[in-house]
Amino acid sequence: MKYLVAVVGPTAVGKSQLALNLAQCFGGEIINADSRQVYRYMDIGTNKPTLAEQELVPHHLIDVVDPDEDFNLALYCKLATQVIEVVQQKGKLPLLVGGSGLYVWSVIEGWSIPAVPPNKELRRALEIRAQKEGSHTLYRELQNIDPLAAGKIHPTNIRRLIRALEIYYATGQPPSRLRHKEAQDFSVIIIGLTMERSELYRKIDQRVDKMIEKGLVEEVKSLLQRGYDVSLPSMSGIGYKQIGQFLQDEITLPVAIERIKYETHRLARHQYAWFRLSDVRIHWLDASRSSDILSAAQNLVKGFCHCEEHSDEAISNTRLPRFARNDM
């Protein structure tokens, strides 16, 4: 039997830390399911795993393309499925980790996605329209065309709104009708992390402040110096957009920071639309109870795939993040 463990939930809830510990415990490898971590040179603002963490556990689908290269759901689903198969063939446990619901469910549910090539002229026209009239204009258009697809996209996510409209104009069909599911040849357990909204917002704000301290402004400045324009889809992500506005003297740094926090709060709320607390497929754990979360997740994985943990001695000799060692 082939297995896949998925670790999901809103941003800043602690998915990456838990996944690192589970991978160490069960000899696993991590497959990224964050739509922003596929871009090179964008490390701080996407909260990529550090090099030290990537040395502890193999990570896949990080730094896949340059910021000015196209990357879409169809390509991600294809690559992720291939990587999962390779990890399984090595006798390792693949862990799909991230908060991009579209990416996660496309893999788990085996979506077959139409390979519609990008239409640069249409994209540019829609980008100009969004700049002049606002992203909500595109969102309302998509709502009229495909309410189901619109319900899965954040109203300010211009990149995904444009892609959905692009698929519609190319095929004449609503995007949601073009996706069908194919049975995967592996069993999946989904572990979800959640916490009280106020505590999650506090953690988000702390993370944003830490990103600024780590050099997010310098990272965005470096991207601009490399020639990556603020109009690129990759640069529209939370953090990069606002710091770009600051560097272009459109807003002050304090305003940029507050907007990053506000938009990240909105993102977290939207992620709960993808990963619903009422979804019986997801085993929800309270991430605020750090003393219990690791052992609970370990028990779920052991019960699911009947695999054994690595020895306590081997685990204690690794540099596990945060709560890991105390909970072993």
Cα gap 310→41, rounded to integer Å: 34
Domain ranges across the chain: 3-113+182-327, 120-178
CB 189 within 8 A of CB 19: no
Mean pLDDT by 10 residues, the chain (328 residues): 96 98 97 98 98 97 97 93 97 98 95 84 93 94 94 87 93 83 89 98 98 99 97 94 98 99 97 96 93 93 81 39 33
pLDDT at 309: 66
Q: Let me know if the fold of 3-113+182-327 is the same as that of 120-178.
A: no
What is the token pair recorded at 248?
């272009």
pTM over 0.75: yes
What class, spelled out in words, does domain 120-178 have in CATH?
mainly alpha
pLDDT at 81: 96
3-class secondary-structure state, position 177: helix
pLDDT at 310: 62
Of the options 1.20.1260.10, 3.40.50.300, 2.40.70.10, 3.40.50.1370, the CATH number for the domain spanning 3-113+182-327: 3.40.50.300
Of the candidates 193, 17, 16, 186, the one whose C-alpha atom is nearest the C-alpha of residue 92 is 186
pLDDT at 317: 36
